[in-house]
Structure 1
Amino acid sequence: MSRMYVLLFLGLVWACGPSDSTQTDGKGKKQVELVLDVKAQLGEGAIWHAEKKELYWVDIEGRKLNIFNPSTKQNQSIEVGERIGTVVPVKNELKAIVALQNGIHLLNLENQELTFVVNPEDSLENNRFNDGKCDPAGRLWVGSLSMASQPEAAGLYRVDTDGTAKRMLDKVNISNGIIWSNDHKTLYYTDTPTLKIKAFDYDKVTGDISNERVIIEVPEEMGAPDGMTIDAEGKLWVAHWGGSCVGRWNPETGELMEKVEVPALNVTSCAFGDEDLGTLYITTASVDMNEAQNEQYPLAGALFKIRPGVKGVKADHFVNEITKL
């Protein structure tokens, strides 16, 4: 997500305050650790592959899919040739489903070949796909944004396991974080410039959503809500663009329970990983900062991690039942 879009809508230039330590502060508070100082332009889309024990994440503007192995500390970068909004592994296959600027594709991770699936926004030349995840039934949900900063010009889509797509929400500004409750009955979703996180009733069988309501309103001084994930206790972990932090939010009460400070202005996504799903990996961006901000946040664009004391849940993968390919 680009900061200029948020500025257009709300004029946000706030920060939660960075941390410059990778251990603990003087009071024993946990601090994030630097994992990769890679200077990603627009790091995003973090998701943990529990079977392969690897972290998938993207650099949207760098047009790269990254696969990080914590055991070897190696980060494989795959050039995809287009802006890449999100990635989700394909269940039981050495493939991933990726949302590129020109549509949804299957990416063969062995030979790096792309196979086109569908483009539900092929008539919207100024839009690109942004964040997305798979639901408990293995369908991909992915949203878009207007690169021309046109308000309410984007949408949220559901790509079913057979590769067909359906528009689920209209009049979206910047589609971002999406995750499902642990009982599979609720979808949580954020349209970043609104500073609100919404909930919908979710039907796993049909893939339908209903009963839209606002559950969290993010204060302007915390920056704008970007990517998010959920922990085993059902609490939401939200990356804050322009806010230098990840917040842990209670979706039942709308309360901010905890704040993890990150030494980067624009924090973009987070995902629980490692063997016990007890490590929170955090992506950041280095784009859209002025000279003073570049000096203040030299680690912008890096990948970070922290052991927050709570575990995550396994991410859902795409179920590939596409027969036309």
Structure 2
Amino acid sequence: MHTDIELLAIRAELGESPVWDAENEALWFVDVHAPAVHRYDMATEGLETWPMPERCGSIGLCRSGRILVALKRTLKLLDPASGALEHFADVEPDGPPGNRLNDGKVAPDGSFWVGSMDDRPERQPNGSLYRVTPDGRVEKKLDGIVISNGLAWSADGRTMFYSDSRGIWIRRYRYDLDSGAISDVQVIAEPTLEVGRPDGAATDVEGFYWSAGVSSGFLNRWSPEGALVEQIALPVPNPTMPCFCGPEMKTLFVTSLERDPHPNAGGLVRLELDVAGVPVARFPR
């Protein structure tokens, strides 16, 4: 299923939210703790960086070429040409003081889904999951979450996967493309620490869910029913999120966390697969 695992000469304190920019053949991702937004050019292997004013949990690409950035409690629009940040939406202005926004992704209907987490060592279930529409309307979808993570949609857009890294669980929902409603929740897996706490994720065209096992060093491929069908051992101890890339969507990049003293910790991994991934939509702004 996979070949040619490569560790790139790129490091992050907490790499997250890799997103493929097919128009420019580039990989965007964030370093939550730097904090910064990065752009890796596939052709030149060059890395551009945009410093952020506070921790940034995730990003989404916009149709205009701008980048939607989830900062601590707000969403901003980054203009890569000027570096300017424009306010877009207050997501959790009155949330618990220890919270920040975490994993986020543009859904197939063009909305941006983003969750919050308790960023304190206590890790209480103070997080929530939100849907933000292109006109800036914020809808709370779920609460009682510890670390919101793992957002990904099936190829037809009618199934949404979601995880709580400290829950510990992976859920599957029915997704309504017209209203953005989620229903028919099923807990499909409760991974052990040895399998890997579920962090960021992506889906492939065969309907499988690829989850970064942040506690194990594995990239885990789950069936829609929750069967663990494949594990790939990565050269980083704490992988955080995969992203399908490339002209055929068969190249997979995986970000990681620099928490472990391992020499590869925080590295960016690239591997080739036999199956293609599901492209992520752009935010219509």
Q: Residue type of the partner of 1:50?
A: A
State the TM-score, normalized to the length of structure 1: 0.84
2:273 and 2:229 map into 1 onto residues whose CA distance is: 12
2:193 and 2:242 map into 1 onto residues whose CA distance is: 20
Does structure 1 residue 312 correspond to structure 2 residue 285?
no
Runs of 5+ unmatched residues, structure 1: 1-27, 321-325
1:52 and 1:243 map into 2 onto residues whose CA distance is: 33
The answer to whether the 8 A contact 2:145-2:167 is kept is no
Matches within 5 A, 1:78-89: 78-89=50-61
Structure with greater helix share of residues: 1
- Larger Rg: 1 or 2? 1
Deviation at 1:45, TM superposition (A): 0.4
Structure with greater strand share of residues: 2
What SS is found at the alignment partner of 2:194?
A: helix
1:81 and 1:317 map into 2 onto residues whose CA distance is: 24
Q: Of 33, 36, 46, which aligns to 1:61?
A: 33
Runs of 5+ unmatched residues, structure 2: none
Q: Deviations over 1:42-71 (max 9, x none)?
A: 000011111221111110001110111111
Does structure 1 residue 219 correspond to structure 2 residue 192?
yes
Does structure 1 residue 209 correspond to structure 2 residue 182?
yes
Q: Residue type of the partner of 2:50?
A: I
For residue 118 of structure 2, what is the aligned residue in structure 1?
A: 146
What SS is found at the alignment partner of 1:58?
A: strand
The answer to whether the 8 A contact 2:73-2:91 is kept is no
The answer to whether the 8 A contact 1:40-1:285 is kept is yes
Segment drifting more, 37-46 vs 166-175: 37-46
Deviation at 1:123, TM superposition (A): 1.4
For residue 122 of structure 1, what is the aligned residue in structure 2?
A: 93
Q: Deviations over 1:94-144 (max 9, x none)?
A: 201010014111111110111111222111231100011011111000001
State the TM-score, normalized to the length of structure 2: 0.96
Structure 1 residue ranges (4+ consecutive) displaced by more than 2 angstroms after TM superposition: 28-31
For residue 128 of structure 2, what is the aligned residue in structure 1?
A: 155
Deviation at 1:73, TM superposition (A): 0.5
2:133 and 2:65 map into 1 onto residues whose CA distance is: 19
CA RMSD of aligned residues (A): 1.4
Q: Residue type of the partner of 1:118?
A: A
What's the % identity of the aligned pairs?
A: 33
Does structure 1 residue 263 correspond to structure 2 residue 238?
no
The number of residues matched between the two structures is: 283
